[in-house]
Amino acid sequence: MATYDMPVILNTSWTVRAGQDSSPSRLADMVNAYKQPMLIDEIRFAATPAPGGGTLPYGRIFRSSVRMALGRFQITNEFIPMDVLAPRAPGPGEVILPLSRPLYMGNTYLLEPTIRSTVDFTMNLTLVGRLTEPVALGAKQWVPFISAWQTPTASTVGQTLNVKSPRSAFVNRFRTPLYVKRFVGYRAIGGGLATGAIDISVSNYLGKPVLRDPTPFYELFTPVDRMWAVETELPPAGFFMFSAAVAGTNFGNYGRISMFGYREEQL
Amino acid sequence: MSPIPGQEGRPLALSAAVTLNSGSAQRAPVLALKNPTGEHCEIREIHVTLSATGATLTGATVGMKLDLGNEALTNGYVPVWLFGRRVDATIDQDRFVWRLKYPLYVPAGGVLVPEFQHRSMVKQAITARITYLGRVLPVGARPSKVHLPWVAYWASPVFLDAEEGTASSSETELTNPHGTAIELERLAGRINRFYAQSNQHFAATDEAFNVSLRSSRGEMFVGRASLDGASNALPFSQVFGYETNSWEQRGTIMEPGTFYTATLEKVLPIVTGDINTVQGFIGMVSWRKAMLVGGQQA
Amino acid sequence: MNPRTASNVIEQFFVNSFPTVVGTSVALEPGGSNQQADHDRLVNPYDNAMLIDEIRFRTLSPELTPFLMDSSDPGRSTYNYGGTVRVMFSLGRTRFSRVPIPLGCFAPPIVNDGPLVSDFGVSTDTAEAKTIVVVPGAHPGRISMGYFRWVLPRSVLVPAGMVLDAVFTRTDDGIVDTTTVPTPPSAVRVDVAYAGRVARGPVPGNLTIPVPYVGLFAHDFTVPTIAVSGENDLSNPFDQPLHVQRLIGRLQTIYASTKGAALNGRSIALDQSCLDDAALTYFPGVTLRTFEDFNITRVQLPGVNIFEGYKRSLSLNTTLQKNQGFQVSVDGSSGLPATGGLDGFIEPGLNTAFVTMVGWREEKL
């Protein structure tokens, strides 16, 4: 094997407490032993019981959200609910974010995730990637970007909330184009009981319809992988606007949508 | 390689639903499936969702035919579960996703028109919803050549669980009726099991059939007799793949006028039960190239 | 040589090919070894060369008598033969592995088809090994069916008249029915099928072809210990480079139920912890490094953090030169599954860890 391209797996874990933002405490875990830059192909979050917490109830990771940055480069606009961070993972207690454009992580800055949760658990963070050659200062690299929006909760049976995403939810806030790969959508189900409807329509910054007629949520974000692949470009300040008609249920009906893309940054 | 600025197109989603009474056929509302921006577009994914009150459905209960302008893209009403690979068993009862191998170009003002048929396997009315996901093409990005799908199928007779038998498709079913060669993307195989006692349809995962396949060019490409002369028809899941219910093809071409003959040998079931019936479905999803002339397919 | 060159050369002969599937089956008793699949059924019967793209397996367990599984969890699929049934492939003198490889260790398993719209409940039935009712009723009899699929890292060329031989073995897993009279059969039926394409014209006989290679490290944890792979397990034994596609990690657990003594009171799971939280897939702690002491993992990591999720695999896409390889340490010193649901226990020695290395090299026909 060549030295460059050698696979590397970094892992750390820390205790997440309800109501408190937390980050990895052992930053040294996030530095590869060879102190060389690496390309991250995959970011994985997995939940295990908190110390003394017994067995892991299902779905715990999905009561948490994450904010990420790589040095001065934002990867998320704010806290992104875990269940829309990435397309659906096969397992219930994990989120796997594959990066089709690997993320360059040099020696001077580390991936910094912050977790916010309503319950206690242990978060395991794994970075899967490979060593790479250093790039010159000023070189351009692709950096992912994820932003999200959650509808208000409709809790009154017979009433429908008609809401629109704010402009800030799905906007390209950078000075370069944002190449949007996909939207991910997830509907929260209260207690596994019968769910209310959410109908979605979408328009873009030109005022043109992307999805004109209100359409059931699952037609766009099928339960298979929750993903709507779009492969489009947003110019600087361009945005998408989602409109949702959220039908009320006793246990509360709401939807979450995220936007995932890449932009170029100068290191 | 960096994407070409401005060539990404804009995402587009179109959706419409239609309710079918047993035995009836009806088009989905065409206006809802027309690109409202008035520009050229392409479709990359097609979703079909079925729902009925008081009935358990499978993708066999509704058939769909697709037309694009003067082009018929299916050999009649193809059961909706034969278009795409099975993606997840849990949702397989009522939601079907077809990720098109090639984007389907729809010229400005055109519509990919679906018509659904209730195949009378349940007596309840069924609502079929279709959603197209794709993109509006950038200005000036109109292709000179397009790919058109051709989806054809054959359904075996309905067998009782406790019987054995054999059935074969005819030369008009799994065929290439076009004047040009088609590229086969996949062969799909599905089994529908009906539990009489509970009045429910299921996508069967047990093995009800052995399969052999022959081409009209004389090749017995599944189930060819082995060197000792014995028939070698294979279990259904060994041909169509248990995970996806499809046999993905690489570089298989069907010349004009050729066809496949599928033979299903009904075997005694692993699962026994009351008056259960079982039916096999085989589909082919393929593509042909067509030239664009003046904005319409040639 | 560009690793794609041999494949590209071969593919040009398979433009406008026609598809084919050939297959056969064997029956394996516990401890049965060297059962060769029917040569005549797997041989390339056509006049031209065949390219095998995919290998499919199906297992059918013996019919189970009632009460075999926890009646409180009848959906649990506990007869996954993907670890105990193994196969060695060879094409003439060329072998795909040094030792027989478990069926469930060639490729990522078929994904769990658990519930989707809610993440608050998970099916204990994996798509890889399903249990279906054979005889309905108040105490239904069941049979387990397992499905495994290997999409070859590079398609393999089988000239006309040649055969990709498959020789099967089954370890002595103890899954026999010792109580039912008369004693029912205990053989597991294994179906194997090759899916691929046949060339319409002649293919030269002197080609350099890609040939898959699978290395295996397997360890039975008879005592708590840290097991370390040997120098021949996950390494390149060839003179030519070995292109590694992925590593796969799976844990087989044979556990006993005190509910009912049929089938010797045993059943088999792959990757399930067998604890109350049966959805928690499990693999012991792992350390991974190369023979040159390059640490792929800095410290021991939970196995599921390496062999990702339900894919149980780590994609590598790297190349090993002759005698290069990976050393894997699997920590079975504590924490291995020890209970089998509400009423079961696991005898010592019945946890087996598998790590396979899947790739390909090039050989001259």
- Cβ contact A59–C118 (<8 Å): yes
Closest residue of B to C53, CA-based?
Answer: B250
Measured between alpha carbons, how far is C11 from C156 in angstroms, rounded to an integer?
11
- C304 in contact with A at a CB cutoff of 8 Å? yes
**Spatial contact of C314 and C307, defined as CB atoms under 8 Å apart:** yes
Closest residue of C to B181, CA-based?
Answer: C16
User: Is the pLDDT assigned to residue B295 strictly greater than 50?
Assistant: no
**Spatial contact of C20 and C160, defined as CB atoms under 8 Å apart:** no
Tokens 């499905």 correspond to C147
Pairing mode, strands B62-68 and B112-118: antiparallel
Q: Residues 305..344 of C with a Cβ closer than 8 Å to A: which?
A: 305-306, 308-311, 314-316, 318-321, 324
Tokens 């060369």 correspond to C49
- Cβ contact B270–C60 (<8 Å): yes
- Cβ contact A58–C302 (<8 Å): no
Which residues of chain A have a Cβ shorter than 8 Å from any chain B Cβ? 177, 179, 202, 204, 208-213, 215-216, 218-220, 222-225, 228-233, 264
- Cβ contact B88–A213 (<8 Å): no
**Spatial contact of A87 and A229, defined as CB atoms under 8 Å apart:** no
Measured between alpha carbons, how far is B37 from A212 in angstroms, rounded to an integer?
10
Confidence category of residue C115, pLDDT binned at 50, 70, 90: very low
pLDDT of residue B139: 78
- Cβ contact C308–A192 (<8 Å): no
Which runs of consecutive H residues, i.e. helices, occur in chain A? 217-220
CA C222, C227, C233, C234 torsion: positive or negative? Answer: positive
B chain contacts of residue A202, beta-carbon cutoff 8 Å: 11, 13
ipTM of predicted complex? 0.89
Which range among A64-73, A150-159, B119-128, B190-199 shows the weakest confidence by mean pLDDT? B190-199
**Spatial contact of B189 and B211, defined as CB atoms under 8 Å apart:** yes
Of C113, C278, C152, C101, nearest to B242 (Cα)? C113
- C245 in contact with A at a CB cutoff of 8 Å? no
Of B221, B244, B218, nearest to B233 (Cα)? B221
User: Is the pLDDT assigned to residue B170 strictly greater than 60?
Assistant: yes
Say how many CB pairs under 8 Å bridge B and C: 113
Most confident of A250-259, B91-100, B236-245, C234-243: C234-243
Give the minimum alpha-carbon distance from B28 to chain A in angstroms, rounded to a whole number: 14
Residues B58-114: pLDDT tens digits?
A: 999 999 999 999 999 999 999 999 998 876 655 556 889 999 999 999 999 999 999
User: Is the pLDDT assigned to residue C83 strictly greater than 90?
Assistant: yes
C chain contacts of residue B221, beta-carbon cutoff 8 Å: 18-21, 198
- Cβ contact A211–B16 (<8 Å): no
Give the minimum alpha-carbon distance from B118 to chain A in angstroms, rounded to a whole number: 21
Q: For all residues of chain C together, what is the average pLDDT?
A: 80
Residues B258-285: pLDDT tens digits?
A: 999 999 999 876 555 556 889 999 999 9
**Spatial contact of B278 and B196, defined as CB atoms under 8 Å apart:** no
Pairing mode, strands A38-48 and A7-16: unpaired
Measured between alpha carbons, how far is B54 from C126 in angstroms, rounded to an integer?
28
Measured between alpha carbons, how far is A212 from A203 in angstroms, rounded to an integer?
7
Which range among B151-165, C5-19, C135-149 shows the weakest confidence by mean pLDDT? C135-149
- Cβ contact B49–A218 (<8 Å): yes
C chain contacts of residue A219, beta-carbon cutoff 8 Å: none
C chain contacts of residue A5, beta-carbon cutoff 8 Å: 318
Nearest beta carbon to residue B238 from set C23, C116, C143? C23
User: Is the pLDDT assigned to residue C3 strictly greater than 50?
Assistant: no
Nearest beta carbon to residue C118 from set A29, A46, A189? A189
- Cβ contact C120–A6 (<8 Å): no
pLDDT of residue B68: 95
pLDDT of residue C116: 29
Q: For all residues of chain A together, what is the average pLDDT?
A: 87
pLDDT of residue B88: 63
Tokens 């989602």 correspond to A242
Q: For all residues of chain B together, what is the average pLDDT?
A: 87
Closest residue of C to B234, CA-based?
Answer: C23
Mutate to test the interface with C, among B250, B261, B272 (most CBs of C within 10 A): B250
Nearest beta carbon to residue B129 from set A179, A208, A219? A219
- Cβ contact C14–B251 (<8 Å): yes
B chain contacts of residue C136, beta-carbon cutoff 8 Å: 272-273
Measured between alpha carbons, how far is C343 from C259 in angstroms, rounded to an integer?
7
Of B98, B116, B114, nearest to B106 (Cα)? B114
Which range among C6-10, C70-74, C312-316 shows the weakest confidence by mean pLDDT? C70-74
Residue that wins the pLDDT comparison between C273 and B118: B118
Closest residue of A to B50, CA-based?
Answer: A219
**Spatial contact of A95 and A44, defined as CB atoms under 8 Å apart:** yes
User: Is the pLDDT assigned to residue C1 strictly greater than 80?
Assistant: no
- B5 in contact with A at a CB cutoff of 8 Å? yes
Measured between alpha carbons, how far is A190 from A254 in angstroms, rounded to an integer?
10
Q: Residues 77..106 of B with a Cβ closer than 8 Å to A: which?
A: 87-88, 90-91, 95, 97
E strands, chain C, in order: 18-28, 35-36, 50-60, 85-91, 94-95, 101-102, 129-135, 141-158, 164-170, 188-198, 208-220, 226-228, 242-257, 266-270, 285-290, 313-320, 326-331, 344-345, 351-364
B chain contacts of residue C11, beta-carbon cutoff 8 Å: 251
In chain B, what are the helix, strand and coil shares in percent, each to the nearest 5?
5, 50, 45
- Cβ contact B247–C18 (<8 Å): no
Burial class of residue B46, CB neighbours in 10 A (0-12, 13-18, 19+): buried
User: Is the pLDDT assigned to residue B155 strictly greater than 90?
Assistant: yes
B chain contacts of residue A212, beta-carbon cutoff 8 Å: 14, 36
Nearest beta carbon to residue B11 from set A177, A215, A230? A230
Measured between alpha carbons, how far is B243 from B240 in angstroms, rounded to an integer?
9
Measured between alpha carbons, how far is B6 from A252 in angstroms, rounded to an integer?
41
User: Is the pLDDT assigned to residue A58 strictly greater than 50?
Assistant: yes
User: Is the pLDDT assigned to residue A88 strictly greater than 90?
Assistant: no
Residues C97-107: pLDDT tens digits?
A: 999 999 999 99
Which range among A71-80, A185-194, C187-196 shows the weakest confidence by mean pLDDT? A185-194
Give the minimum alpha-carbon distance from B122 to chain A in angstroms, rounded to a whole number: 24
